[in-house]
Structure 1
Amino acid sequence: MKSLILGPFGIIVALCCFYQPTDAALAAMSIDLGSQFIKIGLVKPGVPMDIVLNKESRRKTPNVISFKNDERFFAEAAAAMSSSHPQSSYNFLLSLIARKEGDDAFTTFKKTFPFTAFEFDEVRKTVIFPYKEEKYNVETLLAMILWNAKKVTEAYADQTVKVSV
């Protein structure tokens, strides 16, 4: 029987051959996206299930986005701004997803938020919100809110979170 002697380079090559990348060390997040609040769940190695705390150490995060001086604000900061800048604060956006023009949701939204300007985009068949020279559709605003939820989760988990669809 011959013995196999590997040099330093051979050991590195041998270890690389045995290395198999795995997703077992990744964290998984889930989002409970409500009309008024967001709750984020996190499962990561060593933690069976945890509710993500936001920057204010709360389990529920307001589902709001606000704009001021071309800067975006989310969650508690956006909710605080909604009383002083109602024309550039957007909440309860889920009620406008996949709605047709003339739907009761538009009337209800307009009565509830009279300072929020919005219109219906005939081409894309969706609601759009004008802000200065920009126009944001409801899906884009929700995507911004979900992006912020991902960033909050990454900060809480101390690791990156990959998005898969």
Structure 2
Amino acid sequence: MSARSTMLLASAVVMFMANAASASMMSVDLGSEYLKVALIKPGRTPISIVVNEMTRRKSPALVGVVKGERLLGEEAFSLSVRYPDFIYTRIRDLLGKPASDPSLHRMLQAQSLPFKVVPHSPERPTAAVQGTDGSVHSAEELVASLLQYARGIAEAQSGAPVPDAVVAVPPFFGQAQRQALQDAAQLAGVNLMGIINSNTAAALQFGIEKDFADKTQHVIFFDLGSGSTIASLVKYSSYEAKEAGKPKAISQLEVQEVEWDELCGSNNL
């Protein structure tokens, strides 16, 4: 798992560096109920959090469809009390799952969510949401709207197009969920350069400006989210490489162990 995450991250970094002279990219931490966006742009701090239209560092991961108009993020949150039947939450957790998945129905019941989870179509039994008006929206469609929202606030701060993205997801996301995320990115017109486990992203952020030359350090990362809990053991160390013909210590990380409870979150307790 750690090798795959490192490979995806390295691929994203290499691709970005190849276009760094003229391009920006964003990273998206896609949570159950909130999302965060960071901007990577030449001349800026390596990773800087983007604030949304309300100058907040995190945005509600909400999508609303009210009278034919699509509402996203803060706007959807502001109208969630007035139109609770048409504001959808926890949509990340629907990705790549069949509509018959028992965990989805337990979540709806536990959270008292007003919408139903139904098959997207007879030919495609993956999870979709059905509002009280009978309208059906696939999980990929709704997550695509969130990615468009993330790109919008990133471009507002960048002042230039931000077509490329790396998205952080929970380590328990399987192949079907990751493929569904790729489909959502394609719908959103976002070039998904990589998918990284959220615990690996946190470990990278922790160690990105630290020097582990001539030492080894183990750190436990514990993340109690709104929908799940993740704990990981990360080893930081260094290896020797040559730069301009001279030896140089390069810091590295290795995710040695990851454990999670997909259904134990702060809003599920």
Shared fold, TM over 0.5: yes
Aligned to 1:43: 40
Residue of structure 2 in register with 1:115 after alignment: 114
Q: What is the deviation of 1:133?
A: 6.7
Instruction: Give the match for residue 87 of structure 1.
Output: 85
2-structure distance, mates of 1:145, 1:123: 25
Shift of residue 150, structure 1, vs aligned partner = 0.6
Q: Is the 8 A contact 2:115 2:130 kept in 1?
A: no
- TM-score of the superposed pair, with normalisation by structure 2: 0.50
Task: Say if 2:20 and 2:42, in contact at 8 Å, map to a contact too.
Answer: no
Counterpart residue number, 1:33:
30
Q: Distance in 1 between matches of 2:153 and 2:99?
A: 34
The equivalent of 1:164 in structure 2 is 191
The farther-off stretch of 29-38 and 66-75 is 66-75
Larger Rg belongs to: 1
Which is richer in strand?
Answer: 2
**Which ranges of structure 1 fall in alignment gaps of 5 or more residues?**
1-21
Whole-angstrom CA distance in 2 between matches of 1:97 and 1:31: 16
Q: Which residue of 2 aligns with 1:55?
A: 53
* Alignment size in residue pairs: 144
Task: Return 147-156 or 102-111, whichever deviates more.
Answer: 102-111
Q: Distance in 1 between matches of 2:48 and 2:32?
A: 22
Contact 1:96 1:105 in 2 (8 A): no
Unaligned runs of 5+ in 2: 1-18, 164-189, 193-269
- Cα displacement (A) at 1:52: 0.5
Cα distance, 1:135 vs. partner? 2.4
1:146 aligns with 2:147: yes
The equivalent residue for 1:99 is 97
The superposition leaves residues 59-96 of structure 1 with CA deviations (integer Å, 9 ceiling, x where unpaired) of: 10110011222111111111122222111110111222
- Give a deviation string over 1:90-110, Cα, whole Å, max 9, x none: 011122222234322222232
Paired with 2:26 and 2:41, the residues of 1 have a C-alpha distance of 9
After the TM superposition, which of the residue ranges 79-88 and 125-134 deviates more from structure 2?
A: 125-134
Task: Say which is worse superposed, 39-48 or 103-112, in terms of deviation.
Answer: 103-112
Paired residue secondary structure (2:124)? coil
Output the amino acid matched with 1:126.
T
Q: Which amino acid in 1 is paired with 2:73? A: A
